[in-house]
Chains A and B, each alone.
Chain A
Amino acid sequence: MGLSSGDGAQLCVFDLRRGQQEGQELDKILFFHPADCPILLQLSVIGLCEGIITFSRIFSPDDDCEVIESENHSHVFYQAEADIWMVLVVEKNKDSELTWRCGALQGILKEVHSLFTMFYGPIRTLLDRQPSAELARGHLRTFVTDYLSDFSAGKKLQLPTFRDCLKERGTVQMLTISREVALEIQSLTTVLGSCLGNVMCQSLVLFGDLLVSTTLPPDDTLNLYTYAVLRLTPHALSSYANSWSYLRKGTSVHSVPTSSSSNGTASVERPLQREKLYKGKDGFVTADFATSEIRGAVPSAPILWFRQAEDRMHLCVYQHKNITILLLTPASSLINGDEGITHVKRHLLEHASQNIVTVEQKLSRGWGGENAYHVGGYRYLLVDPDRKVSRASPPGKVTTLSKDSLLSLNRQREEIDLEKSRAGRSDSCHDKDFEICIRAKNNSWVIAKVTRGRELYMALEKGGETLLYASTAVEKFSNRYCEGAFSTD
């Protein structure tokens, strides 16, 4: 689904502060996908984007340009850092399969940028450190390409379409657990937190692809969670093992010789490179970076930058059956790199193994399977932007919806996105409540409800005839599954 025709999608990153003199325009470009795109075409795309950005700033100095819709293309903009822009260009087509939602595409740009920042720090910092931009370009090339490899189907990018309208990128999916288990996990978190003695370690615990506990603020949790689900969870690790033989062929990226492993940040090689990640016998997921050129220089744990934590952190990943533990130790507290990490690992094995086993057992016992959060009759998506948490009907159930319902829902979400940004501009400190119920062509009810910041989207295909039916259904759902958050007052 959702194949872009031709060479379709392009993704570029450029810096408006660079290459301001004629003839040096090429200097603006930090990244361009596909890499084999002719330079002239690259320049023309970026030239257009820059023009639109400059132009729209005249009218709207505070808010960025979000999208240009032309006859054949959509340009989705995201200003990742001041004057550093990311643009995704997707080709339009008569085929309704290629119906996107701007917000969803922007989500991809946001996601790749946050992940990049987590591993390498802000792009601006990289540029400031090395004005020739080789470092930044090198990292972006490997990182974004590795990231996009997830979307690639053959040579093309397969971007999320309307069929994914009951998913929300940039949110965390939580596992619902009983209080007793939550306390058990909290106890594990305490043990994990003390892996370094006096300095508190942070940790994330995942069960399968669902988050169980975190000690980090929502933003950082989200980034790490996203990374974990992309590459570290048992599911992510095994999906590569099963399919790498044919998937890898088209997208091999030439390994980049690292020029600067001494400056600290280059120590992370390619965190999104699937081939190098594996779970060791000791249960730790490690990256096999010990290639000839960088042997010894690289600690096996990546260093992460966090937006909300002051320190850089070492990441240590431990896995036991379905449990994945992301343990973060402040880089400054690990005086002697590898040795410190070995110590942390030993501490974890010695003190936390028992807890981990118990927790894993309890969670596995309580786990309702992949359809655990299915609610009969409903296809829904619940988003809590404050906590950056979402929950949705299982994908397998969403596919049973008809195309009409999905298209209507996609359309409706687009409306809500607009409405939200409009409300946000007029009164940013009060949440505005919305409710939209649509009777789609196929007689299904498509409902969106935003209450006190929380969002609920649902499609009811076997609904009754009346609007009353739809609102009763929402009411029931709200009372039963959302503690009344969406109930009509």
Chain B
Amino acid sequence: MLQLPRAPRPIHLRLMVCTPPTPRALRLAFQQTPPPNALAECSRVLKKSGQMKLLHREKEPASVFEGNRKNVLLSGKMQGGLGSVGTLSHAYVQHPPLRCDIPDIRGIFYDDANKFLIAPTADRILYWKITPSTPAGPPNSDPINDGPVLSVRYSLDQKAIGIQRSNHEVEFRNRETGETCNKKWRVDSETLLGFFWTDCPTYDVIFVKTSGLDLLAYEPQSNALRLVDSKKFNVSWYLYTHESRLIVLASGMQCTLFTGYQFSASGVVKLPKFEMTVSKSEANSKPVLAADDVHIVTVYGRIYCLQLDRVSMTLNMYRFYRDAVVHQGTLPTYSSRIAVSVVDNIIMVHQIDAKVVILYDIFMDSYAPISAPLPLLVRRLPSNNRQATQSSDNQSSAYGGTLYGEGWNFLNPDLVCDVENGLLWKLHLDLEAIAASTSDAPSVLEFLQRRKSDLSMVKTLSLAIVRTVILERRPITMVAKAMDVVLDSYSRLMKMGSDLPGVRRTSEQNLQSGVQPVVNPDSSSGDGNRPVQSNSGVEHGIANHTANVDRTLLNTSSDSDDITNASGGANQEMSGLQASDVAERKPLVVGKDSRPLASGTSMQHGTHVANVAVSPSEMFESVFVLVEDEMMGDPAYLVSIIMEFLRSVSKAGLKAPPNLYVMTTTLLAHSNRYPEIMLFVSNKILEPSKELAMQLMELGRQNSPTRKLGVDMLRERGLHQDYVSALLQDGYYLEALRYARKYKVITVPPALFLEEAVATNSAKNLAAVLSFFTEFVPTFKTTSDYARYRHILSEMI
């Protein structure tokens, strides 16, 4: 449950939520056309202000990605067109949108708790489930009585529908029985502003009136409402998002005084009263704050409030704590109208007049935008090929005129409803473009690793970025930092993986909260994968765990604070071993699971969440193996990088794949650095393995001490047969024989030993070997070897 932390040290209790939407019924749209060069103006101002955290692609020094773009980035780049402005963009809406332009409908509503797009007709309610992905088929429907509809909200268990009929009346309809009950208020004294369902234990429905809140319990059996509590104060308007479970109520002359409550499954939190400041244009003017100018935003499990100050053209950002509301900073705006969306914890501030969007990632309390203001694009599903892209260009240009058009309504958190055309768009981030817009690899990787959607893209991009920084021979410290970021996020995920009780607890709560079936866009995909996995063994068990965990991660949103607080903390000590265990086995699982991914058509959902993190062996296969050839000219650099990688791996408590050690020795040998091989083997930087031993012996052809290292490693690893063969190859046949006897190695044929003995031309030794075999191998006397070497021996004597 998303809970408000206490200031100043935020405490996040468990957050197990869904990504939902705004309570505001659709508000019909806007005026004005934007000034013609708003975009240019906007960029100029931003550049001047020097606030760009990441460099704009156009300004980027010696373009980071250009050189390797082909292999680095996904093929088939999708770029929708917005005619004259060009095709650069960091955010887009996906084509095709959901069409909801059904002739008879009387308006469109959005139920953010259930993620239903609702369109009432005269006697029915049509609704589309927006989660997990925009549906293609026709809407579902529920019959209702005729009458005006001001807003519609389904109960959280979806057994009842609440329909606001007027400013004084709400009708509740039991969906099974069809029974209705009406809740009415006296017309004169107060006006109903709205209502919503809550998963708070004591209340089910909350009515917001100009005179305060009514908190009611709903009894589905009797389809009756019971007033439990009420809170009296003046309300001018209110904002509520189910995502934050937070309601803020404005009052006062300028509507700048706020009261707030959080109605969550764990109870009610009353926020302290607070006031927002509004700049005055003239001394005597008293600007009134409108509901349109305030936005509740939930990112990384924290709740913020953005307030547009129209006079100073800034967005004030407040953060809600349990016992305080703290002003955090201001963001500049370049438009008199703005809209705010949240996609994957990224705040999108739409500058509607300028028709551009600015992205903010406030994970680290940095209020610099992550990219230049760029327009929104329309794109076709990425699964389609280039031809489709072209056709999408046509379509988008056909649609182009209405981007940020009159009918656009922004639904919390990431939807746009074009009421005029009856279209519902989902906003997306173009991670690829954002990643390409900066050369600061570690921060881009951090940014990517924080993303929860489009996981396969995150992974592909992360690997590509690491590859690129290596190929470009960036400073080692920087590459090291980049790899740290990737591995840290993997090990964090693995640690969560071993923390099963926590996971279970979370999912139970999910059930209790009663919103489980619909809230989580990813849960269905996770569930979908489960049957496939559960039919075999332990490894799949692990995969399951990771899948679960990842979901928890998603749900809790990855503020590291609450991860540890929620469930990680208690088990962290014990998780060490298990984590590495999981880490070791994980690649197997990933290997299986990643296959459908690679060919997967959908980038958005159905992605197995366990795959987001990049394991050390994936780093090896997708980075080091791929760059090795190109780096052969400068093996020292690559070796240093590998050393840093090993350091990150060991710091994260993970294991590196043995083949990486093989590669390292090859690189070192390539530049004649045999002494270092020796050093690294002796201090275990190169961890012993059979693969490494074999490689050392191979390299030992040029350098005998290195060969010895390999042979010793075979012995230390207890690879008896290989050790005996190695000794034989080096001509130590007596030693080999002694060893074979001690460890009962019977797989090496006697002829090999005998042949070596003959080669040294020592009758004494040959006799010794012969008698050894006659004594220890009962059937040896009957073999042709015996006769043959017996004969040779007699000739020698």
Contacts and interface: CB of A to CB of B under 8 A. Distances in A.
13 contacts: A174-B682, A176-B683, A182-B685, A186-B643, A187-B647, A190-B643, A191-B477, A213-B679, A215-B676, A387-B678, A387-B682, A387-B705, A452-B708
A177 interface: yes
A122 interface: no
Chain B: interface residue count, which band?
35 or more
Contact of B650 (A176, A180, A387, A484): A180
Contacts of B730: 430
Contacts of A484: 715-716
A183 B646 contact: yes
A22 interface: no
B708 A453 contact: yes
B705 A190 contact: no
B705 A187 contact: no
Most A-side CB within 10 Å, residue of B685, B687, B731: B685
Interface in B737-753: 738-739, 742
Interface stretch (A141-149, A216-224, A250-258, A263-271): A216-224
A416 interface: no
Interface in B613-667: 636, 640, 643-644, 646-647, 650-651
Contact of B683 (A177, A221, A485): A177
B644 A190 contact: yes
Interface in A360-403: 386-387
Given A179-B684, A190-B476, A489 B738 contact: yes
Contacts of B647: 183-184, 186-187
A65 interface: no
B472 interface: no
Given A190-B643, A430-B731, A214 B675 contact: yes
Contact of B684 (A182, A215, A221, A387): A182
Contact of B675 (A218, A452, A489): A218
Sorted from nearest, which 10 A-B pairs have the closest CB atoms? A489-B738, A182-B683, A386-B705, A183-B647, A489-B739, A190-B640, A186-B643, A179-B684, A217-B675, A182-B685
Contacts of A247: none
B748 to A, nearest CB: 14
B677 to A, nearest CB: 11
Nearest to B685: A182
Nearest to A217: B675
A3 B258 CA distance: 95
Nearest to A485: B712
A194 B676 contact: no
B363 interface: no
A191 B732 CA distance: 43
Contacts of A134: none
Nearest to A181: B683
Contact of B673 (A174, A182, A215, A387): A215
A176 B704 CA distance: 24
B637 to A, nearest CB: 9
Q: Of A174, A186, A485, which is in contact with the most chain B CB atoms at under 10 Å from its CB?
A: A186
Chain A contact residues: helix, strand, loop or mixed: loop
B641 to A, nearest CB: 9
B735 A433 contact: yes
Contacts of B731: 430
A67 B715 CA distance: 40
A187 B644 contact: yes
Contacts of A386: 704-705, 708
A62 interface: no
Interface in A149-191: 174, 176-177, 179-180, 182-184, 186-187, 190-191
Contacts of A215: 673, 675-676
A489 B742 contact: yes
Contacts of A214: 675, 679
Contacts of B742: 488-489
Given A179-B650, A187-B644, A218-B675, A194 B476 contact: yes
B312 to A, nearest CB: 43
Contacts of B735: 433, 452, 489
A452 B730 CA distance: 11
Nearest to A453: B708
A218 B675 CA distance: 7
A126 interface: no
Nearest to A177: B683
Nearest to B480: A187
A200 B668 CA distance: 14
A193 interface: yes
A10 B716 CA distance: 48
A45 to B, nearest CB: 39
Contacts of A200: 636
A464 to B, nearest CB: 23
A484 B480 CA distance: 36
A71 interface: no
Contacts of A282: none
Contacts of A216: 675
A63 interface: no
Nearest to A182: B683
Interface in A391-443: 430, 433
Contact of A221 (B477, B675, B708, B716): B675
A483 interface: yes
A193 B635 CA distance: 14
B684 to A, nearest CB: 5
A229 B730 CA distance: 37
A378 to B, nearest CB: 21
Contacts of A213: 679
A22 B682 CA distance: 56
A213 B673 CA distance: 13
B683 A179 contact: yes
Contacts of A177: 683
Contacts of A453: 708
Contacts of B687: 179
B424 to A, nearest CB: 52
Nearest to A186: B643
A483 B716 contact: yes
Nearest to B713: A483
B711 to A, nearest CB: 8
Interface string A200-226: 100000000000011111100100000
